[in-house]
Amino acid sequence: MVKVRPFKAIRPKQDLAHQVASLPYDVLNSDEARELSKENPYSFLHIDKAEIDLDKTLSPYAAEVYQKANENLETFLKKRVARKGGTRFLLFI
């Protein structure tokens, strides 16, 4: 049986939301994502496609990419670019 539980979302600060917002990871290749985010340290692509912050020769599936994504997420939280929501909720569509 599936268990559905409410969770605290991680959301960008309202004044930075337009900079954090990005295209979905699966509509851009690594080079396109690198180009779109190079002038924007707040782009979610730094988390979603963390290979853009590493050597181009590295596989996007390498362990280092997942580690970098985690580091980038922690940086977003530490610098308060994004924060965990206060209220847990369920969204039904």
Q: What is the DSSP string of 4-25?
A: ---BPPEEE-GGGHHHH----G
Is there a domain that residue 20 lies in?
yes
Is there a domain that residue 30 lies in?
yes
Is 0.75 surpassed by the pTM of this model? yes
Is the pLDDT confidence value at 93 over 90? no
Is there a domain that residue 16 lies in?
yes
Is there a domain that residue 5 lies in?
no
Q: H/E element holding 71?
A: helix 63-78
Q: How many C-alpha atoms does 37 have within 13 Å on its Cβ side?
A: 26
The count of domains in the chain is 1
The pLDDT of residue 89 is 64
Backbone φ/ψ region at 67: left (φ over 0), alpha (ψ -120 to 50), beta: alpha
Q: What's the domain range around 37?
A: 10-84
Of residues 10 and 72, more confidence is placed in: 72
Mean pLDDT, rounded, for 31-60: 96
The pLDDT of residue 50 is 98
| Side chain identity at residue 16, one-letter code | L
Is there a domain that residue 64 lies in?
yes
Tens digit of each residue's pLDDT (9 = 90 or more) over 5-30:
877 889 999 999 999 999 999 999 99
